[in-house]
Structure 1
């Protein structure tokens, strides 16, 4: 199907496939994230903040030892927003406000990036984690590295190919794999190809839209010794871009036997949180004792 604009959401170009699920390819891989943040703010896109809140709890709860900075691999990293929210004391609304109107101010790409680098540097958290990005969107990932939101990035499609030697080597350093809005664009193939590069698999913390079945991923993770727990509470991702996407979501939920009452029926996509880790870790501290899922 061709591009359509969502009613009442100026500038949000949604390319819908035959199923009706929207994607944001028109704004996902520009040289700067000005349009990305402006449009997602209009859609009340919240999931990066929920994700970062939970990921920071997981990071802070670990006995890393003095001076150790854990390494996070964020799958479908885009411009590095999860990196921003874990490496600084900024919140998502701060980022949205920073970029409000920035797309029309006449600055060059280099000027936008230098200013954002300075802005993020002023709000850096001490002993923040190293954050590595993985995405197919080269411009977005490179922007994340340029401004310091990401310490490194790999532009690779693990749905189609095995990891590069560089990524395979880097996986030995990864303590935590995260994703907020990536499930559906990536499947169990990506996670399996990542874990084949590790001797001691890292924890996997994933937010998955309720329209998708996470079980194929958890089954793959189990093959590497990781036990998956699901949080009791779902979190809001964003509002539907249009009626077509809402109809798609409702059909997917119905097919899965998931009740949309008080969630998707209210006009928003919702995501469940899953944490996968070795059995001994899960036994020692249940998920409910480890993190508090943000309220919507």
Structure 2
């Protein structure tokens, strides 16, 4: 199995299938749970944006959306456990793609009233499925690390209120984030990114600060998934130690951990508390999330 520069194993094959069955059956075994942990934080940011712009249907860009998982959780009241059970069902395994898509479309039929969600991903098959299943309102298939947004893509991103991500930072970096931040002239969307600890966020933070953002690093850590193998764990632990980050009690126990970075334009950040309501109630802590 190939590994990237941080030591993380490549699971690219599960993101390019015509439907999400391989995605969910593979990640279920690894106890991938970051979208579930992120859900209340994203919902909190949406609620806060409604306070700033009451009466507006929030417009969300899910960066690295794959098959629309965050949309299913945020708009469809799904849970990761439900989705894992849904796609592992033996009856589902023998369905055609069209049958599966129709089943999903029925499940998520009433989702559109809550937020408008556009997905951005480099996998056209994943985007096609998420659109066909009714999880996304629109989609952009692009590699913004090397390419500028087209005029039509900018139009789709216009008016974005909140950009979210749950693991794509590292595959995309400061170039992508800056292009998204400036896609709509002087309008700057809020952002909430869950980033694995061995992935440096500094280049993105520096870029966003130059664009007028305030950044908060939420003092809490979140389990992303189990390691695929001891080799993956050893490489990630070595990568963390080389960067001066202590994996003790965290990655060395067999799990990836992520941190949440909240990014808001300064004009907003000065008038609205950046701290998620979840953490103000529970207190910031170093733990599982």
Contact kept, 8 Å, 1:88 with 1:128, in 2: the verdict is: no
RMSD between aligned residues = 1.9
Partner of 1:105: 93
Superposed structure 1 runs of 4+ greater than 6 Å apart: none
Secondary structure of the residue aligned to 1:232 is strand
CA contact (8 A) 2:131 2:139 kept: yes
Which stretch of structure 1 is more off in the superposition, 17-26 or 146-155? 17-26
Alignment of 1:89-168 (within 5 A): 89-102=77-90, 105-121=93-109, 124=110, 127-168=113-154
Q: Which SS does the other structure have where 2:259 is aligned?
A: strand
Q: How does 1:127-276 map to 2 (within 5 A)?
A: 127-198=113-184, 199-276=186-263
Relative to structure 1, is the Cα distance of residues 287 and 261 closer, same or farther in structure 2, using a 3 angstrom cutoff? Answer: farther
Measured after TM superposition, the shift of residue 35 of structure 1 is 1.0
* Structure 2 residue matching 1:60: 3-state secondary structure: helix
User: SS at the partner of 2:198?
Assistant: coil
Distance change in 2, residues 1:88/1:295 (3 Å): farther
Secondary structure of 1:86 counterpart: helix
Q: Return the alpha-carbon distance in structure 1 between the equivalents of residues 6 and 288 of structure 2.
A: 30
TM-score w.r.t. structure 2 length? Answer: 0.91
Post-superposition offset of 1:285 = 3.4
Q: Show the counterpart of 2:264.
A: 277
What CA distance in whole angstroms lies between the structure 2 residues aligned with 1:233 and 1:137?
31
Query: How far is 1:18 from its partner?
Result: 6.6
Report the Cα distance in structure 1 between the residues aligned to 2:146 and 2:94, rounded to whole angstroms.
38
The number of equivalent residue pairs is 280
* CA deviation profile, 1:107-162 (whole Å, cap 9, x unmatched): 211111001111122xx457311110111111001111111111111111001111
Q: Structure 1 residues 137, 102: CA separation in 2 closer, same or farther (over 3 Å shift)?
A: farther
Q: 1:85 aligns with which of 63, 68, 73?
A: 73
Please tell me whether residue 65 in structure 1 is matched to residue 51 in structure 2.
no
Deviation at residue 218 of structure 1 after TM alignment: 0.8
Aligned partners of 2:72 and 2:5: how far apart in 1?
34
Q: Is this contact kept in 2: 1:20–1:248, CA < 8 A?
A: yes
- Once the two structures are TM-superposed, the CA of residue 282 in structure 1 deviates from its matched residue by 2.4
CA–CA separation in structure 1 for the residues paired with 2:176 and 2:234: 28
Q: How far is 1:184 from its partner?
A: 0.8
Name the SS for the 1:270 alignment partner. Answer: strand
What residue ranges of structure 2 are gaps of 5+ in the alignment? none
